[in-house]
Structure 1
């Protein structure tokens, strides 16, 4: 059995400043079997999972192009077309089946559903008989086009995402069963018209998302069900299909798949009031953190979530840490400031206005004065549970110490998904009373075991918790909570059946 593997992975924040171009995918542009195995074998990534799954099924892999970029702003149309062309030309069409590693929330200029369009174009090449499986992030905005053109759709079950490898193994094994003729998958998509923020999508603590996942796992115990995917969606992509979605895959039984999908959709609707989140203003959050007797206290600045496409240079919390009474740590992406520190050298006095380079939404530059304590060229490897073995790169990096405040200045936007974010520059997270994370939830894979207190911060930003602050023009209406319940009309239509 020969399986072709390829993919494009990008979470697009249509409210983020700037534009994402082809060059932004250069950091992870891997093509061909030798490069794919060298980069991903024995890693906890989706790509590593495809390798593991193929070995379990004794299948040969034909590795095409896999390209990924850090979550960021809208992808240019030229970049999207170039990426899709490159993926299409890299797929070995003599294979028995195809597995695509996708995110599910990629948006380009004039193209609201890049993954769906890619699948449509692949189907034009292969015809309807080619078995195709896809893996998706839990924050996918799953469209009808994705469900129509994929035979198997397998999404992450966890947030923070620690099961990417396992879900890819599952997808490969289902694909192999389909190729052998053991199963005939049928998919049903249900969308309950709910838009929720990442902060309420936690699957490792009691709450609505965990309840939905547990029901999905119970449904999967039905012998006729092959997979249940629960997607929280990505609310910072203004696209028609943004929001919560459920895909149930059954063996032969379309009616049963639709029944279970609609059951989960109705369950989510009943839980809608629990699927809300709120935080503290920056000054109040900082005061509460310093008042805590024991740290580390995590200030969660989700509005500047790197993993959601934010610029990583918001200064709303930073300015509250100037003159901090207890040891505090924050990471700010400022390429110019990091380069300045590198020019000056370790041990020199440092003074500059940092951050706030992406417009008023994320604050203005804040002046800090201190000493350059450490310089680093940026690359490290994930050692924690989130995509273990994945490569990360902060670019030119400098550690600035200003009294009790330590600032890590980075050239590149790098999400705090792994403790290497801090240990790579010689720091120990447990030495700080306050740690600011530019993340919504995934920071837990780096700092969760050390955390004594979590304080959510509600500040302006392109990943803010208050969705009413965003001007949506493309999303399918009505949708909760953008439309009040007094005018909201519950939509159950044939598209969900």
Structure 2
């Protein structure tokens, strides 16, 4: 009998990308409102047959013949600091939910979660799990490419596997890889040895793209070449999350070998050096809003995508910045923008389809992201905002924009949402009857992940330089806790 059939694998996770510069706090309700699963029926109904980390774990455990023991799995849309009460409640719940009799544990974590009193949430989660299950129980974890990796994280986990892509279209495959390495570790077929290297660099998400040529793709290709060494189990390239002001923020590399620390150290140093040599190439040349909009309308062919990275929903921004919107009110060509505004969308639902909408929208979270902009137009459609991912990112995952309204104001189509909605999947507009390819200008509140929605149709990309808590200028942020020196805050990291 295959011994793998006797194995039991416990799974749990808490996912949050915390922007310590973003307005507001993130409490337990934000997690429960988005996803909160703790039993096998919910896991299978919600995640099975999806191209997600949990979908990959479910399939990999089943295909190995092992049994899956489901613990707490929760996550919230990237946002501001997590409260201490929420952090303690979720960590206590996660540890209590784990099947301590399992042969191994796989944790689905982000890597850039920060709470009041817990600057390294993933390290604290792992510490508590390790204390609960003992020193010898193998633990694997998956990480986002935008993690901020600490020595504690690398010390407490036996297997660490991060995404290789941005947009993150390989989370399913990386979860399968993590489960495979965990099972090999349980069977003592391999002895994972991990080495962490920090080149002391902060870079913004917009320059971490892996699908086109550039310095970050070069680092990823170097990692793939290193993984071809039979002694190497995994190489994880981490871009970091610069909007979390924590000691270990920034680019990092984790090299895992089969029992060979010197080999891991050699490759980790090779990657660290390669990143440092490319530091001056991680520069984003973005354009002020008025000029960017003018350039977009001057293009003969669309869609032209205006990348409003300073209001990147996937990086914790409020999704209501108006720095670009105010230049689109009298758009000469068809334009599309999504804005989160609870008050405005509630008004639209009160007025009804076909009614005239007239109210200021956006700019309500704080002053940094702009002032409300008066808008008048016709309410074309109202929706509950529910849709399913139909693109390459988290295919099959259900999503919720909250109450949603489509306002037509001349050539400008405004999608008002109750909840902050990242443009990760074409379903967020397809579900509203919007054909994105018919627009000349599309504004995305994202950095790179929008490509899984509109990348195949856009004719030109214009990065916009505007104020916001996910802005492209590292020097604009008041860092207090990150380890110094670090480039580009300091000439030499």
Normalising TM by the smaller chain, what interval?
over 0.9
SS of equivalent residue, structure 1 residue 134: strand
Q: For 1:337 and 1:14, locate their aligned partners in 2 and report how far apart those are by CA, in whole Å.
A: 27
Matches within 5 A, 1:11-26: 11-26=17-32
Q: For 1:38 and 1:322, locate their aligned partners in 2 and report how far apart those are by CA, in whole Å.
A: 43
Which of 395, 411, 432 is the matching residue for 1:388? 395
Query: Which residue does the alignment assign to 1:138?
Result: 145
Q: For 2:264 and 2:102, locate their aligned partners in 1 and report how far apart those are by CA, in whole Å.
A: 28
Query: Which residue does the alignment assign to 1:232?
Result: 239
SS of equivalent residue, structure 2 residue 193: strand
Moved over 6 A (4+): none
Query: Which residue does the alignment assign to 2:52?
Result: 45
Query: Which residue does the alignment assign to 2:178?
Result: 171
Matches within 5 A, 1:138-157: 138-157=145-164
Which of 27, 36, 57 is the matching residue for 2:43? 36
Q: CA-to-partner distance for each residue in 1:224-280, whole Å, 9 max, x for gaps?
A: 000000000000000000000000000010110111011100100000011111210
SS of equivalent residue, structure 1 residue 93: coil
Aligned length: 486
Q: For 1:125 and 1:91, locate their aligned partners in 2 and report how far apart those are by CA, in whole Å.
A: 9
Which of 219, 224, 236 is the matching residue for 1:217? 224
Which of 10, 13, 22 is the matching residue for 1:4? 10
SS of equivalent residue, structure 2 residue 456: helix
What TM-score results when the alignment is normalised by the length of structure 2? 0.98
Q: Is the 8 A contact 1:392 1:414 kept in 2?
A: no
Q: For 2:250 and 2:333, locate their aligned partners in 1 and report how far apart those are by CA, in whole Å.
A: 40
Q: For 1:278 and 1:463, locate their aligned partners in 2 and report how far apart those are by CA, in whole Å.
A: 15
Q: CA-to-partner distance for each residue in 1:119-170, whole Å, 9 max, x for gaps?
A: 0011111111000000000000011110000000000000000000000000
Q: For 1:345 and 1:32, locate their aligned partners in 2 and report how far apart those are by CA, in whole Å.
A: 40
Q: For 2:376 and 2:421, locate their aligned partners in 1 and report how far apart those are by CA, in whole Å.
A: 24
Alignment pair present for 1:85 and 2:92: yes
Query: Which residue does the alignment assign to 2:353?
Result: 346
Q: CA-to-partner distance for each residue in 1:420-477, whole Å, 9 max, x for gaps?
A: 1111111100110000000000000000001110000010000000111110000000
Q: For 2:252 and 2:205, locate their aligned partners in 1 and report how far apart those are by CA, in whole Å.
A: 14
Alignment pair present for 1:284 and 2:291: yes
Computed over aligned residues only, the root mean square deviation of the Cα atoms, in angstroms, reads 0.6
Query: Which residue does the alignment assign to 1:261?
Result: 268
Q: CA-to-partner distance for each residue in 1:164-220, whole Å, 9 max, x for gaps?
A: 000000000000001111000000000000000001000010001110000100000
Matches within 5 A, 1:120-131: 120-131=127-138
Q: Is the 8 A contact 2:340 2:416 kept in 1?
A: yes
Q: CA-to-partner distance for each residue in 1:32-85, whole Å, 9 max, x for gaps?
A: 111111111110000001011112211110011100000000000000000101
Query: Which residue does the alignment assign to 1:368?
Result: 375
Q: CA-to-partner distance for each residue in 1:309-333, whole Å, 9 max, x for gaps?
A: 0000000000000110000000000
SS of equivalent residue, structure 1 residue 322: coil
Q: Is the 8 A contact 1:225 1:251 kept in 2?
A: yes
Q: For 1:414 and 1:5, locate their aligned partners in 2 and report how far apart those are by CA, in whole Å.
A: 27
- Structure 2: gaps of 5 or more residues: 1-6
Q: Higher mean Cα deviation, 189-198 or 28-37?
A: 28-37
Q: For 1:36 and 1:427, locate their aligned partners in 2 and report how far apart those are by CA, in whole Å.
A: 31
Q: For 2:428 and 2:285, locate their aligned partners in 1 and report how far apart those are by CA, in whole Å.
A: 27
SS of equivalent residue, structure 2 residue 368: helix
Matches within 5 A, 1:81-480: 81-480=88-487
- Structure 1: gaps of 5 or more residues: 491-497
Q: Is the 8 A contact 2:62 2:68 kept in 1?
A: no
Query: Which residue does the alignment assign to 1:494?
Result: none
Q: For 1:275 and 1:53, locate their aligned partners in 2 and report how far apart those are by CA, in whole Å.
A: 36
Q: For 1:48 and 1:247, locate their aligned partners in 2 and report how far apart those are by CA, in whole Å.
A: 24
Q: For 1:53 and 1:262, locate their aligned partners in 2 and report how far apart those are by CA, in whole Å.
A: 32
Q: Is the 8 A contact 2:381 2:406 kept in 1?
A: yes
What TM-score results when the alignment is normalised by the length of structure 1? 0.97
